[in-house]
Amino acid sequence: MHVFLTGGTGFIGRNLVEALLRRGDRCTVISRSGTDLWKRPEVEVIRHDPKLKGPWQRTVNGCDVVVNLAGERIVEPPLRWTAARKTRIRASRIATTNRLVDAILEAEQPPRLLLSGSAIGYYGPRGDQAVDESAPPGTDFLARLAAEWEEAARPACTKTRVALLRTGLVLGRDSPFLASLVPLFKLGLGGPWGDGKQWLSWIHIEDVVGIILFVIDRQLDGAFNLTAPNPVTVEQFARTLGKALGRPAILRAPSLLLRLALGEAADALLNLQRVLPARALEAGYQFRYPQLDGALSSSI
């Protein structure tokens, strides 16, 4: 199988490419830097910005599957969402998806599946309510971003099946989320944030890759929540991470402090949701890491 990827150089993309190579698949990755992480003939890296039109779009023709993961990080220094930053966050996803969909629509031999990125922020803040893929989108910035990202992918469905990856917080070695938390916890400065009662829907990287391959192999489509079946509260998450590191996790970062420090970007830490992977479970996917303690032990 020949897979074309945007965002193939990122945390999820790298792990997916490695898994595809282990199965004997071939990959073409478009990257702004052109970094060739693999240096193997089975991976072709095209140096181009996927937001921009270019000859790269013709390479989508004849690929079996397209995976669209490109997107500027939502929580990364400088943390505040200025208007310019929001524009970059949005364009990195929507313009990339538009160019990719154009490429699919123009292909004589379109792929049989487009897996396109999204996030559980799609659902907006939900308190204690558990949501599956049938829930409608929320209205805050992250929810509108995810909904628009999904909408941008949908026109491809006249030529191919479209699966949408509503991804939760991804754990695993090299997880950007853990990379920012673990050093604080190791110093004994970790603990819950906000009131600690928000639900945090996490997933291990092996299950992200596992579900993507499952969707490809079973020829599925539609929206999939990429989250483990057992979300936890932020309080439970902090306690479990502290225990895994053998450090106390008692310091609390109150919502007000986060709002003052981060402005609207604090939404990414405070406006969380309790998301269940109903469709993956119904289709028979078996999670390798259904529980947080096991997922964290293999991540730190």
Ligand X SMILES: NC(=O)c1ccc[n+]([C@@H]2O[C@H](COP(=O)([O-])OP(=O)(O)OC[C@H]3O[C@@H](n4cnc5c(N)ncnc54)[C@H](OP(=O)(O)O)[C@@H]3O)[C@@H](O)[C@H]2O)c1
| Distance of alpha carbon 122 from alpha carbon 275, whole angstroms | 11
Angle between helices 141-153 and 83-106 (to 10 degrees): 10
| Nearest approach, Cβ of residue 189 and ligand X (Å) | 22
- Decide whether 80 or 88 has the Cβ nearer to ligand X: 88
Contacts of 291 (CB under 8 A, 6+ apart): 228, 230
| Nearest approach, Cβ of residue 74 and ligand X (Å) | 6
- Provide the sign of the torsion angle of the four alpha carbons 104, 114, 116, 144, taken in this order: positive
- H or E segment and range at residue 134: none
N- to C-terminal Cα distance for the chain? 33
Task: List residues binding ligand X (CB under 6 A).
Answer: 7, 9-13, 31-33, 49-51, 69-73, 88, 92, 96, 117, 119, 167, 169-170, 176-177
- H or E segment and range at residue 271: none
Does residue 222 contact residue 164 with C-beta atoms inside 8 Å?
Answer: yes
- Decide whether 102 or 188 has the Cβ nearer to ligand X: 102
| Nearest approach, Cβ of residue 286 and ligand X (Å) | 21
User: 39 in the Ramachandran plot: left (φ > 0), alpha (ψ -120 to 50) or beta?
Assistant: left
- Decide whether 46 or 251 has the Cβ nearer to ligand X: 46
| Nearest approach, Cβ of residue 60 and ligand X (Å) | 16
| Nearest approach, Cβ of residue 282 and ligand X (Å) | 22
- Decide whether 92 or 240 has the Cβ nearer to ligand X: 92
- Decide whether 86 or 188 has the Cβ nearer to ligand X: 86
CB closest to ligand X, residue no = 10
